[in-house]
Amino acid sequence: MTSGKSHPRPHLHLAVALADAGAHPAAWREPGARPDELFTARYWADQVAEAERGLLDLVTFEDGLGMQSSLPDRPDERTDRVRGRLDAGLLAARVAPLTRRIGLLPTAVATHTEPFHLSKAVATLDYISAGRAGLQVTVSPRPDVADHFGRRSLTDPAPGETLPDLLDEAADYVEAVRRLWDSWEDDAEIRDAATGRFVDREKLHYIDFEGRHFSVRGPSITPRPPQGQPLVAIPAHGAEGWTLAGRAADLAFVAPHSDAEAATAVAGVRSAQQQAGRGDEPLHVLADLTVYLDDSHAAAVERLSRLDEAAGGLGADIDGYGFGYGAPGSGRGTAEVFAGTPADLADLLLAWQHAGLSGFRLHPGVLAHDLPAIVDGLVPELQRRGVYRRGYDEGSLRARFGLARPVNRYALSGS
């Protein structure tokens, strides 16, 4: 027999993906889009400050190693869309001292970058931000991107360079990064001027990582980050992405088009997590949504239609992450597109939350319009419904997601 008492709905987590002038390829042509400032620090600092004003959990800085394209596997020749971008990691480091609470997750492409370099960059970001750093890990199957580096050919991939292999490599990549973050014990730095001992060398550890794709000895040259382990996010827009997220992620970004698909994606990630032996570890699943918000449904739909017409009706630019993200003929990538009012969006978020989602990562169609609409429209609506915070709690980004600071694996093992 039940008590009849209702249980409060858990609060939603909200993130925002920052890319160019917005998710829509014609966003840069909209009023207030500031296309002449897209390659300035001020522009990006303003976007993150706006997201922090809305009490959002985190922002992801979208990035890649090839020019943006409307094609999934190669560059296009379009000149009517934003082309070129600043480095996500450097942007996150630049805005970190200008913000106080919001999480900062730059994107790294595991296929062509080194885990050692990335581990110390994100550890540094965690220090600069006082425990608000994370990392979004992607892969790139694009042959033109491989040609920038000259170490592998993806035009006619050899064994070990197919998409499943790239994803397997990404899992190894994350494992190596995590071990490097642990390669300094928390009390390895002594800083004793009287004895002249700055560091206890016995508390720095070789990680001796050996995988199919690379090996890393370690230790890192950067002490263990304030969070111990900054958050790792995986854009898991398909079954192969679910597998990688289950193996390696703290946050998984899935791309359902309905509450039923959301339930399927959550189940897929959870199954992969169990198979990877991580069933007892917290892993949050957030759904990606591209949003166009206005005072009325009709106004939002009309604006989206006008943007589509301005873009030539050929769909969104897509970065070929290799996680099912963006596909030929998909229109605007694989993420669901919502056009309507903030109240209507709140209804959708709460309906989909029942599928097991922890929250949502929103892709503003036009940053100049839709990010303020999220902050001033959606967030207050969710607050009125009692499902969103009214202020930031103290603590790290991990703590915000209910993740404990992990024990250092090498201190635990004594190796």
Nearest to 273 by CA among 244, 246, 233: 246
Three-state DSSP state, 231:
strand
Annotated binding residue at 63?
yes
Q: How many CB atoms lie within 10 A of CB 75?
A: 15
Nearest to 171 by CA among 246, 96, 227, 271: 246
Cis peptide before 219 (omega within 30 of 0): yes
CA distance 230 to 220: 15
Annotated binding residue at 208?
no
Contacts of 37 (CB under 8 A, 6+ apart): 43
Contacts of 236 (CB under 8 A, 6+ apart): 242, 244, 245, 249, 252, 253, 254, 265, 269, 323, 324
Three-state DSSP state, 336:
strand
Contact 135, 230 (CB under 8 A): yes
Element (H, E) at 343: helix 342-353
CA distance 106 to 90: 8
The residue count for the chain: 415
* Annotated binding-site positions for FMN: 63, 107
* Annotated binding-site positions: 63, 107
